[in-house]
A = this chain, B = another copy of it.
Amino acid sequence: MCEANAYLRRGNREELVLEAVDKLIPGPGQITMINIFGEQKILKAKILELSLVDHKIILGENND
């Protein structure tokens, strides 16, 4: 399986917010993620970087 883990970057730290993300849908000011277990999470965040070979989605806080 080729899902990725989503991390929220806060300063120098990266906190795991959802593992094994399959779907990610950006919306206005927020991001909806659904993982392979069917868990859904909506965060006020934006995508900073995807690094798919490393299975990482890096999100940043949305200050808009």
> For A51, what are the chain B residues with a Cβ–Cβ distance below 8 Å?
22-23
Q: How large is the interface on A (under 10, 10 to 19, 20 to 34, 35 or more residues)?
A: 20 to 34
CB proximity to B under 8 Å, residues A39-62: 46-53, 55, 57
Shortest Cβ distance from residue A6 to the other chain B in the assembled complex, whole angstroms: 10
Give the number of times this chain occurs in the complex, counting copies.
2
Task: Report the minimal beta-carbon distance from A47 to chain B, rounded to whole angstroms.
Answer: 5
Q: Are A1 and B53 in contact (CB under 8 A)?
A: yes
Asked if A55 and B2 make an inter-chain contact with CB atoms under 8 angstroms apart, the answer reads: yes
Q: Which of B2, B26, B57 contacts A53 (CB 8 A)?
A: B2
A47 to B53, CA, bound (A): 18
For the complex with contacts A2-B4, A4-B52, A23-B50, 15 further pairs of A-B residues with Cβ separation under 8 Å are: A2-B2, A2-B55, A21-B50, A23-B51, A23-B52, A24-B47, A25-B48, A25-B49, A25-B50, A26-B46, A26-B47, A26-B48, A36-B53, A47-B47, A50-B57
